[in-house]
């Protein structure tokens, strides 16, 4: 079975990365950062509402294209911290990364880790469309998707049902959502550590 991976929160620790960018762009545009504690920003990430933070800071939706452009530049200037132990798991088991993040930014980060062209990246704002593109280009009849986000499990179920293929979601407990939320969304297993994930992926053929 082909293994696909999410990026944010699954392979990289993006919490601090996003928060640093938010503070940076707020300062550049004379806005007030809406978060005072790590718990506050984690709640936004868990609710998948991080873009609302920019609205709370005083930006408008018409500013979002500018924010996206600035974030792409930031992603190419700044290294995202990897989840310890996840790069070997990705290189051993991963066929592709499917993410809502910009594909070029992800590839740039992988190149910084010495991973040049070994992992295909499908990155676009609509993760469902990215997943469909990955499935179609690779002629998949079945796949497993590794993610920290419960919403991805629902996307996997919806896409696999529409396309009539077999798919499972494997959750990881170190990201945005709780184990309970991942299981409720349809994950068949939730790994507590990268080592545990690697052992579980070995059992999936």
DSSP element (H, E) containing 69? helix 64-77
User: What would the pLDDT profile of 136-174 be if each residue is shown by its tens digit?
Assistant: 999 999 999 999 999 999 999 999 999 999 999 999 999
Q: Strands 189-191 and 166-172: what pairing?
A: parallel
> Taking the domains of the chain in order of start, what are their residue ranges?
2-12+82-202, 14-77
Average pLDDT across the chain, whole number: 89
H runs (alpha helix) in the chain: 14-28, 38-46, 50-57, 64-77, 86-93, 103-112, 127-137, 150-163, 179-185, 194-202
Is the pLDDT reported for residue 48 higher than 60? no
CATH of 2-12+82-202, one of 3.30.70.370, 3.40.50.1000, 3.30.420.40, 3.90.550.10: 3.40.50.1000
Residue 45: the pLDDT is 61
User: What would the pLDDT profile of 81-102 be if each residue is shown by its tens digit?
Assistant: 899 999 999 999 999 999 988 7
């Amino acid at each position: 079975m082909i293994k696909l991976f999410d990026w944010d929160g699954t392979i990289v620790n993006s919490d601090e990365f996003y928060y640093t960018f938010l503070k940076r762009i707020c300062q550049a545009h004379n806005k007030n950062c809406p978060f005072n504690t790590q718990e506050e920003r984690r709640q936004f990430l868990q609710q998948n509402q991080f873009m609302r933070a920019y609205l709370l800071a005083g930006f408008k939706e018409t500013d979002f294209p500018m924010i996206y452009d600035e974030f792409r530049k930031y992603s190419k200037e700044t290294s995202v911290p990897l989840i310890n132990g996840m790069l070997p798991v990705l290189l051993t088991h991963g066929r592709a990364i499917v993410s809502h993040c910009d594909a070029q930014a992800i590839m740039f980060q992988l190149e910084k880790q010495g991973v040049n062209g070994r992992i295909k990246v499908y990155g676009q704002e609509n993760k469902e469309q990215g997943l469909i593109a990955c499935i179609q280009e690779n002629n998949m009849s079945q796949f497993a998707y590794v993610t920290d986000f419960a919403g991805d499990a629902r996307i996997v179920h919806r896409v696999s049902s529409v396309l009539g293929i077999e798919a499972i979601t494997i959750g990881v407990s170190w990201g945005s959502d709780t184990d309970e939320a991942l299981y409720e969304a349809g994950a068949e297993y939730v790994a507590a550590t990268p080592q545990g994930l690697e052992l579980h992926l070995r059992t999936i053929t």
